[in-house]
């Protein structure tokens, strides 16, 4: 019969994680607790010999300063919230990674909030970040409601939006309309007249802007244009939209896709189901230049959004707002570069 643990049948209490404390460092170094604190505070007064003893003891014990506690005492933190819907998908994943890298480089702590686009979801994310005294919020997607902006302003919390414009909010946007008009012109000048654009019913500002600008430019040139939309802006939607487009009686000889994931779905349908040759039978231009665009399976001609550039611009706007909370809103527009590969060569 098993009587349980050797301590009389009682389940041993789980040991709580214990980090090395400043007091332990002080004891090992033979100095006061305040000397340890001053040794790790930039600009604080401490004798060089004392600092050397403290640093040696800290290294031996594996001690690190409790930045969270310091932030609480100062009523602020180095946390920066990155709010995104489906941050693992397409260009958004690379932008989130670039933002995290840029924030870490400046000494901030990025916190990724994977949320939806409804007001309740966004406000819940914001309240979490305010509760943790995040110094700023960067939104990659979604439309922040007025209450979201008001809550940020009341708490003095800077807000930067990427991919859309909002009144009285700092934002970074790609040159969607410029790129889309260039795509239509490039198709037309290469002799393509039966054009199509594949957008998305997701209705995000960037997708809508690309679709609208391409359609307007193509029609002004005198080309015929078919508009097809998938439910979302992902690969599966590209497959569905591609099937719908290629089943039309009017044969399309060039397609502008609102992003690369849509383009990949279209290209696979064109080759594997419609038995069309990419570029010869139907030319394709995408948008984003995610790494898969250069894969041998796709070799997609596309407009490049540089995630590092956009991240740096967003962080610069955030720092500007932190330094001058009352400055007028700043807007950054990054014009994408056309990267030419095999799916269409002007």
Rounded to an integer, what distance in angstroms lies between the CA atom of residue 324 and that of residue 339? 38
Mean pLDDT of 120-148: 74
At 72, the pLDDT band (50, 70, 90 cuts) reads very low
Rounded to an integer, what distance in angstroms lies between the CA atom of residue 99 and that of residue 118? 23
Instruction: Report in angstroms the alpha-carbon separations of 159 from 55, 89, 100, 139, 271.
Output: 38, 23, 16, 8, 44
Q: What is the pLDDT of residue 275?
A: 93
Higher per-residue confidence, 93 vs 37: 93
Share the mean pLDDT of the chain.
85
Kindly tell me if the per-residue pLDDT of 75 is higher than 50.
no
End-to-end CA distance of the chain: give it in Å, rounded.
82
User: CA 218, 281, 246: angle at the middle one, nearest 5?
Assistant: 75
Mean pLDDT of 300-311: 96
At 35, the pLDDT band (50, 70, 90 cuts) reads confident
Cβ–Cβ under 8 Å, residues 325 and 154: no
pTM score: 0.77
Q: Render the burial of 306-340: b for 16+ CB within 10 Å, e for the rest.
A: bbeebbbbbbbbbeebeeeeeeeeeebeeebebee
Cβ–Cβ under 8 Å, residues 284 and 300: yes
Rounded to an integer, what distance in angstroms lies between the CA atom of residue 157 and that of residue 206? 25
Rounded to an integer, what distance in angstroms lies between the CA atom of residue 43 and that of residue 37? 12
């Amino acid at each position: 019969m098993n009587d349980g643990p050797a301590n009389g049948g009682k389940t041993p209490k789980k040991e709580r994680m214990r980090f090395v404390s400043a007091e332990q460092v002080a004891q090992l170094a033979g100095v006061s607790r305040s000397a340890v604190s001053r040794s790790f505070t930039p600009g604080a007064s401490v004798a060089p010999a004392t600092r050397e003893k403290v640093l040696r003891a800290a290294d031996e014990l594996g001690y690190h300063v409790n930045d969270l506690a310091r932030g609480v005492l100062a009523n602020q933190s180095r946390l920066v919230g990155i709010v995104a819907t489906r941050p693992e998908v397409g260009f958004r994943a690379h932008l989130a990674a670039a933002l995290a890298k840029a924030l870490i480089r400046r000494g901030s702590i990025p916190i990724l909030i994977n949320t939806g686009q409804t007001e309740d979801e966004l406000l819940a994310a914001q309240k979490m970040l305010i509760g943790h005294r995040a110094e700023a919020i960067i939104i990659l997607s979604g439309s922040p409601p007025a209450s979201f902006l008001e809550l940020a302003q009341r708490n003095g919390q800077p807000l930067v939006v990427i991919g859309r414009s909002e009144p009285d909010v700092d934002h970074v946007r790609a040159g969607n309309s410029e790129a889309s008009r260039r795509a239509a012109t490039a198709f037309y000048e290469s002799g393509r007249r039966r054009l199509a654009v594949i957008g998305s019913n997701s209705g995000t500002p960037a997708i809508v802007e690309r679709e609208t600008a391409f359609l307007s430019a193509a029609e002004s040139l005198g080309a015929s244009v078919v508009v097809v939309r998938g439910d979302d802006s992902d690969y599966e939607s590209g497959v569905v939209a591609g099937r719908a487009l290629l089943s039309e009686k009017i044969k399309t000889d060039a397609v502008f896709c609102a992003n690369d994931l849509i383009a990949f779905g279209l290209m696979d349908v064109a080759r594997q189901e419609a038995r069309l040759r990419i570029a010869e039978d139907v030319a394709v231009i995408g948008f984003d230049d995610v790494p898969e665009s250069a894969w041998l399976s796709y070799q997609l001609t596309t407009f490049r959004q540089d995630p590092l550039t956009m991240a740096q611009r967003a962080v610069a706007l955030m720092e500007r707002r932190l330094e001058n909370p009352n400055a007028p809103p700043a807007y950054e527009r990054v014009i994408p570069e056309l990267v030419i590969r095999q799916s269409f060569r002007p």
